[in-house]
Structure 1
Amino acid sequence: MKTRNVDAYAELHRRRTYGNTAVRMRRFVEPWVQIDRPKTLIDYGAGQGRFGEILTAPTLEVRDSYDPAIPEIATLKSDSYDYAICIDVMEHLEPDEVAGVLKHVASLTKRALFIIDTRPARAILPDGRNAHTMLQPPKKWQEMLATAFGEAVAVPVFRKGRCAFKTYRSSPSEWLAYWGKFGPAEVDYQLWRLKGGRYEQPPIST
């Protein structure tokens, strides 16, 4: 789904390299994907990070990336997925575009995980505006997601200025499994940071 600022973001991607968000947020996302055991996944608004490519999820047979600002992945390969991840995407939309994009994601899958930044970005658009054009508190994002999907469950993302939601409910045993997976993932992340936090981008899947 092409939005008004796509060309501006295409220019930003040409000028700068992005991708570390995928590594920083992986420990919050990967356990839920593993627990849900999807066969197909779409990284919606993937940018340069290729989040879907770095997830450890043995059940995944399809890991598609989609971003209208990146020519190689600007076209969706399917109209249906078992699971979607949407990381640091929604805050880059214009306010009147949010409902349409959420509707689009919901048309692809009913099981999605969103992480949304609630603070101004460092990046500035070519027109001089802050790149985070849609800043809202977590409660407002939860309401908008619930309207689009029928459900919006807050999930942990221990980072100031971010919120996260799943569009489906999980059982107590699934939550217990999540915490069991999150602990080792957090250790891996902290070790990555101690080693300098370097990230080598996977190649784009086309």
Structure 2
Amino acid sequence: MVGNSKLIENYAQIHASQAYGNTSVKNLRLIRPEIQLLRPQSIVDYGCGQSALLDRLDLGYPVEGYRYDPAIPAFAQKPDAKVDLLINVDVLEHVEESDLDEVLADMRAMCRDALIIVDTAPAKGVLPDGRNLHVTLKPHDWWRERIAQHFGPLYPVRTLRRARAGFKTWQRGPKQTLQYHLMRAREDARYYAKRVQGKHKVL
């Protein structure tokens, strides 16, 4: 396990007492086309929390999925496999700055490519010691530079809110970019159709 063990225990208590960690599912209609175009055969949701992301990913083909989160007993065992894609959504802001390089190095060692989203705004809740739940609050450019030190060149990933910084380690060519926009249009159409039918809450 990497990171501050006391801080991880604080998050474990929060997870045990309330619903927490579903931002990745809310971003699914934005990130699924990116993942489908990359076509990974194995994925780890690193810092998965209580997220159902892997259950709802639905890429249209079989994929081997792993969950890892040291604050969730059921997912606290880190997978031994090196995966094609690591997904990390709203996790790094919960890591103390002094531990970031250790966590990022751990993430890098687990994957070929990565899709990372970081929240740059304060959370609504606080830790037992009074600190904001987002213990590392930095602007987009700071995160890009820090993550790139471990992952190399990064490319933007669209997110639901401007306060979130999204990055991926692979680049789309012109043909894939056209495919991406067509796939995004289908995702949006499906999402808003379900909202009209009352199957989605307003995000």
TM-score by length of 1: 0.89
- Which range moves more in the overlay, 11-20 or 131-140? 11-20
Alignment partners' CA distance in 1, 2:119 and 2:191: 20
Alignment partners' CA distance in 2, 1:98 and 1:188: 37
Q: Give the aligned partner of residue 109 of structure 2.
A: 107
Relative to structure 1, is the Cα distance of residues 144 and 60 closer, same or farther in structure 2, using a 3 angstrom cutoff? Answer: farther
Alignment partners' CA distance in 2, 1:90 and 1:138: 12
Residue 19 of structure 1 and its aligned partner are, at CA, apart by 4.6
Alignment partners' CA distance in 1, 2:109 and 2:78: 12
Alignment partners' CA distance in 2, 1:17 and 1:184: 29
The aligned length equals: 198
Residue 82 of structure 1 and its aligned partner are, at CA, apart by 0.6
Q: Give the aligned partner of residue 51 of structure 2.
A: 49
The 8 Å contact of residues 143 and 152 in structure 1, kept in 2 or not, is answered as no
Residue 52 of structure 1 and its aligned partner are, at CA, apart by 1.8
Q: What does the per-residue CA deviation read over 1:90-124, in whole Å, with 9 as the maximum and x for residues that have no partner? A: 11110011111111111111311011111000121
Relative to structure 1, is the Cα distance of residues 193 and 131 closer, same or farther in structure 2, using a 3 angstrom cutoff? Answer: farther
The 8 Å contact of residues 121 and 137 in structure 2, kept in 1 or not, is answered as yes
- Which range moves more in the overlay, 54-63 or 28-37? 54-63
Q: What does the per-residue CA deviation read over 1:142-161, in whole Å, with 9 as the maximum and x for residues that have no partner? A: 11121101111112224121
Secondary structure of the 1:34 match is helix
Q: What does the per-residue CA deviation read over 1:138-178, in whole Å, with 9 as the maximum and x for residues that have no partner? A: 11111112110111111222412111000122212122211
Q: Give the aligned partner of residue 138 of structure 2.
A: 136
Q: Give the aligned partner of residue 98 of structure 1.
A: 100
Kindly report the root-mean-square deviation, in angstroms, between the aligned alpha carbons of the 2 structures. Answer: 1.6
Q: Give the aligned partner of residue 197 of structure 1.
A: 200
Superposition pairs for residues 55-134 of structure 1, below 5 Å?
55-134=57-136
Alignment partners' CA distance in 2, 1:100 and 1:56: 32
TM-score by length of 2: 0.91
Unaligned runs of 5+ in 2: none
Relative to structure 1, is the Cα distance of residues 119 and 86 closer, same or farther in structure 2, using a 3 angstrom cutoff? Answer: same
Alignment partners' CA distance in 1, 2:125 and 2:60: 35
% identical equivalent positions = 34
Aligned match of 1:150 in 149, 152, 155?
152
Alignment partners' CA distance in 2, 1:61 and 1:20: 20
Alignment partners' CA distance in 1, 2:99 and 2:169: 19
Unaligned runs of 5+ in 1: 199-206
Alignment partners' CA distance in 1, 2:14 and 2:189: 33
Alignment partners' CA distance in 2, 1:192 and 1:90: 31
